[in-house]
Structure 1
Amino acid sequence: MVTLKHLSVKDHDEGSDPQLAEAGSAETAGTRHRRAESSEFFLNQQKNFALSLVLLLSCYSALLIPAYLPTQQATRNERTTQESMVLLNRSAALLSQKCRSGWSTAKLNAVPQFRSLLEIPVFLQNRTGHWELEPPLGLQGCEESLAHSLKALPDSGLPSSPKNCRRCMVVGSGGVLHGKQLGAHIDKHDIIIRMNNAPVFGFEKDAGSRTTIRLMYPEGAPFSKREYQKTDIIALVAFKSLDIKWLTSVVTRKPLSWWSKLWFWRNVVNEIPLQPENFRILNPEILKRTWHVLTCTKQQRKTVPTLGISAVVLALQLCDEVSLAGFGYDLQQPGALLHYYETLRMDAMMTQVVHDVRAESSLLKELVKAGVVNDLTGAL
């Protein structure tokens, strides 16, 4: 028993020291391992921070360095300036020539499919007549409101001009006019035609400052009274019977009822700072014949001519020479400016279904090619 106890105690005593030593050794190794892991963690953090810093600097460099390096922008600007100078020189050359009496009419008469665009009375006289089509290609159903409106209009012709030979300029709203600096040349024409709310104020350098005729419908009338300065005639293009009633209300200074205004697709002006003798109604026969020319070679569609192409046909009735500026939609460049006075892009034109801009562009190009009109901005 004693021996066993002795052995038992001895065995326990002998085995206790090695166990304590092993425990101490294990603790030392664990501590070293944790310290190694901690060092490795901080090293990894430093590496990650350095990598992040390098990436951040790379991003800033990619954004900032190109701004200080030569780019293609200077080349594009130089090319644009050269093109503008060519257009300005061509415009100046046309204006320096003597006005050629009957030039556009003779050129138009030489193209059989265009002859129907000749000899159209431009403004409605003090009579209604018979209309076969509804607005805007006619005035069927508008006879009563038309008769009432014509009574409020004292004049139906153009302002008198001492010149026997007149030059017309039709100023389109296209973005191609932006930056061309044709304003001074535009103002030298005898008759200057604009459309809807295309502004003059603030854009004189490119678009000129005078307006002989502004074609528009109620929803397109400028709200700024400054846009009616240096304006001789406001010519209504009626798309519905209510448009004629609106014109009467503007001329007589008797605003329409709130109920009537609900039928416009956008807000309209209540007054225009001009006298009754400054208002006209465009003869819808101009739109009708233009529409026939646009649709004669293909299946007729439910589209109507734009005010732009209608203004060109109007100019052909009034002037011996006709020039255009700001015409031409480049539908292959969806990011290009649609209008010279706003940031709307060309792709917005693709969403509309009221006008056939491709057919109109084709017609205008044919008129330019035949020498009927001059394209001063070179986009046709």
Structure 2
Amino acid sequence: MIQVCKQSAMVTLNHLSVEDPDHGSLLLPVVTETATLTPVSQRQRSVTKTEPMDFFLSRKANLASSLLVLMVCYLVILIPAYFPMKKTTADSDDHQDPKDLVLLNRSASLLSRPCQPHSCLNHLKPLSFSEGLQEIPVFVEQGRPAEWALGPPLGLQGSEEHLALTLASMPEPGVPPSLKTKDSCRRCVVVGNGGVLQGSHLGSHIDQYDVIIRMNNAPVVGFERDVGSRTTIRLMYPEGAPHSANEYRKTSMIALVVFKSLDLDWLTSVITKQPLSFWSKMWFWREVVDDIPLSPESFKILHPEIIHKTGQVLQKYALKQGNMIPTLGASALVMAMQLCDQVSLAGFGYNMQHPEARLHYYEALRMDAMKAQVSNTDQ
């Protein structure tokens, strides 16, 4: 092969011969008759004419295949986000935790008992720390002026003008007639956000209560099996308001907890459908909603005295002295005692012995996240 590659060929129109360049002898006989040959350039053209077409066809096929693969990859990623897959075995109805069955039985037993009128107040009276918790106004009303000695959230000192504008926009700022009547015994349940509710199957039990109180943006839609489907009062501040309109479909009332004067301006804007200015929104620590699909009669302002008195009771158990601001859960409990004869709790309590347990029923945050927080008594 090496020798053949070193030999040269001489092609003519009338003769075809191959000579050895070293000896000059013919390696092939001379072809005497005229040979009709196709020029090399023409043969190359005829061969290469189809090459560009095949090349571009192959490129189109490759591009289409690549796009198809890319679309499949996107679908694999996006479909689970929009259409959640079936729940795992741990969350299925057929594998319920025994402790949840105990909780269900306890709840069913509580609901089976007849409602006891004035049960909450009767239990509080003998207790020394109950002084000041009885007969606290529930919501701020017009025509009942008060001299606020403290600023928000323990009072409304310095926010009087903001309060006057908000009350003017509220047709029924006080307790609604449905909660004023004492003809029948009423039961309240304050639903916390604890992870203990996840997989509890308490939803049907919670819906049986006369008044269901929730806090901030605790979701209902998608969690009805564990937390129920109705909300009588949602206690919240502006930054904690749910952003989804679906969360307000089965909500009767919104009770605002005032932490700053701007919170009252936000409530006025929600009621009157007049959005806040861009500058006002800059002062919220989190994005707030512009619209809540409820009638003006559905909005209330939690009386700051509830927060103040609740803080005073909790202060007796604190190591550090000063004005204590209770959680919304504690304030909701005291509010419920003013509205109902019997009050139950669901979704409260943290078990630090199980760091892998859910902190909240609606998210994957674990209990060990509590260790990163510093309590007020440690500051």
TM-score under structure 2 length normalisation? 0.71
Select 1:151's aligned residue among 168, 181, 184.
168
Instruction: Give the superposition deviation at 1:354.
Output: 6.9
Of 328-337 and 277-286, more deviation after overlay is shown by 328-337
Structure 2: distance between partners of 1:159 and 1:348: 43
Structure 1: distance between partners of 2:224 and 2:322: 38
Q: Is the alpha carbon distance of 1:79 and 1:228 closer, same or farther for their aligned partners in structure 2, counting shifts above 3 Å?
A: closer
Instruction: Give the superposition deviation at 1:329.
Output: 1.6
| Greater relative CO (CA pairs within 8 A, separation 6+) | 1
Structure 2: distance between partners of 1:86 and 1:227: 29
Number of the residue aligned with 1:193: 213
Q: Secondary structure at the match of 1:138?
A: coil
Partner letter of residue 178 of structure 2? S
Instruction: Give the superposition deviation at 1:355.
Output: 5.7
Q: Secondary structure at the match of 1:90?
A: helix
Report if the CA contact (8 A) 2:312-2:324 is conserved: no
Q: Is the alpha carbon distance of 1:278 and 1:164 closer, same or farther for their aligned partners in structure 2, counting shifts above 3 Å?
A: same
Q: Secondary structure at the match of 2:307?
A: helix
1:114 equivalent in alignment to 2:130 = yes
Select 2:347's aligned residue among 300, 321, 326.
326
Report if the CA contact (8 A) 2:196-2:358 is conserved: yes
Structure 1: distance between partners of 2:373 and 2:99: 31
Report if the CA contact (8 A) 2:188-2:212 is conserved: yes
Q: Secondary structure at the match of 1:116?
A: coil
1:135 equivalent in alignment to 2:156 = no
Of 203-212 and 344-353, more deviation after overlay is shown by 344-353
Instruction: Give the superposition deviation at 1:118.
Output: 1.3
Partner letter of residue 363 of structure 2? E
Instruction: Give the superposition deviation at 1:98.
Output: 1.1
Instruction: Give the superposition deviation at 1:332.
Output: 3.8
Number of the residue aligned with 1:343: 364
Structure 2: distance between partners of 1:336 and 1:142: 42
Instruction: Give the superposition deviation at 1:159.
Output: 4.7
Number of the residue aligned with 2:328: 307
Structure 2: distance between partners of 1:247 and 1:148: 10
Structure 2: distance between partners of 1:252 and 1:78: 49
Q: Secondary structure at the match of 2:151?
A: coil
Counting aligned pairs with the same residue, the percent is 59
Report if the CA contact (8 A) 2:314-2:324 is conserved: no
Where does the alignment leave 5 or more consecutive residues of structure 1 unmatched? 1-72, 359-380
Report if the CA contact (8 A) 1:306-1:355 is conserved: no
Instruction: Give the superposition deviation at 1:274.
Output: 0.4
Partner letter of residue 273 of structure 1? P
Q: Is the alpha carbon distance of 1:132 and 1:200 closer, same or farther for their aligned partners in structure 2, counting shifts above 3 Å?
A: same
Q: Secondary structure at the match of 1:300?
A: coil
Select 1:123's aligned residue among 135, 139, 146.
139
Report if the CA contact (8 A) 1:136-1:240 is conserved: yes
Number of the residue aligned with 2:238: 218
Number of the residue aligned with 2:222: 202
Pairs aligned (count):
283
Partner letter of residue 290 of structure 2? N
- Once the two structures are superposed, what CA deviation does each residue of 1:232-278 show, in whole Å capped at 9, x if it has no partner? 10000000010010000000000100000000001000010001000
Report if the CA contact (8 A) 2:187-2:211 is conserved: yes
Higher-helix-fraction structure = 1
Structure 1: distance between partners of 2:169 and 2:343: 31
User: What does 1:71-86 align with in structure 2 at a 5 Å threshold?
Assistant: 81-86=97-102
User: What does 1:248-327 align with in structure 2 at a 5 Å threshold?
Assistant: 248-297=268-317, 298-301=319-322, 303-327=324-348
- Once the two structures are superposed, what CA deviation does each residue of 1:11-61 show, in whole Å capped at 9, x if it has no partner? xxxxxxxxxxxxxxxxxxxxxxxxxxxxxxxxxxxxxxxxxxxxxxxxxxx
- Once the two structures are superposed, what CA deviation does each residue of 1:85-124 show, in whole Å capped at 9, x if it has no partner? 2211221121111111111111111211123211101000
Partner letter of residue 155 of structure 2? G
Q: Secondary structure at the match of 2:369?
A: helix
